[in-house]
Amino acid sequence: MKTPLILAAAGLAATFLSVPAQAADAAAGEALAKKEGCLKCHAVDKKKDAVSLKEIAKKYAGKPDGEAKILSQITTGQKVKLEDGTEEEHKVIKSKDKAEVTNMIQWILSLK
């Protein structure tokens, strides 16, 4: 069961990340994060129900697979551990716009 999910995530990562790298449009990235509900659990610079976006940026920025790992997390509904120690499936974003999603990920990574 996990193999098809991993293959699907890898395919999505390849599709989304094939958009040429460029500087993130911060306003558009933050707007998509709000629209998709990311900021209900994540704050930009402090812990909420989940780690801050800055903590995510510190963890993944500069790593060759950083964008792919974030993309996988937001598109496959993997289990995540919340700050209170409970686990739940991460919300899957609805946007299918490759450039929009890639921009949001690049915005997050720029917060380090």
Condensed to tens digits (0 to 9), the pLDDT of residues 38-80 reads 999 999 999 999 999 999 999 999 999 999 999 999 999 999 9
**Overall average pLDDT of the 83-111 stretch:** 95
- In terms of residue numbers, what domain contains 59? 2-17+24-110
Can you give the CATH number for the domain in which 57 is found? Answer: 1.10.760.10
Q: How many structural domains does the chain have?
A: 1
Q: 19 — phi, psi (to 5°)?
A: -65, 135
Residue 93's φ and ψ, nearest 5 degrees, are: -70, 155
32 burial (CB, 10 Å; 0-12 / 13-18 / 19+) is: buried
Q: Is 78 helix (H, G, I), strand (E, B) or coil?
A: coil
Give the predicted TM-score (pTM) of the model. Answer: 0.78
The number of residues in the chain equals 112
**What is the amino acid identity at position 52?**
S
Q: Please report which confidence band the pLDDT of residue 86 belongs to, taking 50, 70 and 90 as the band edges.
A: very high
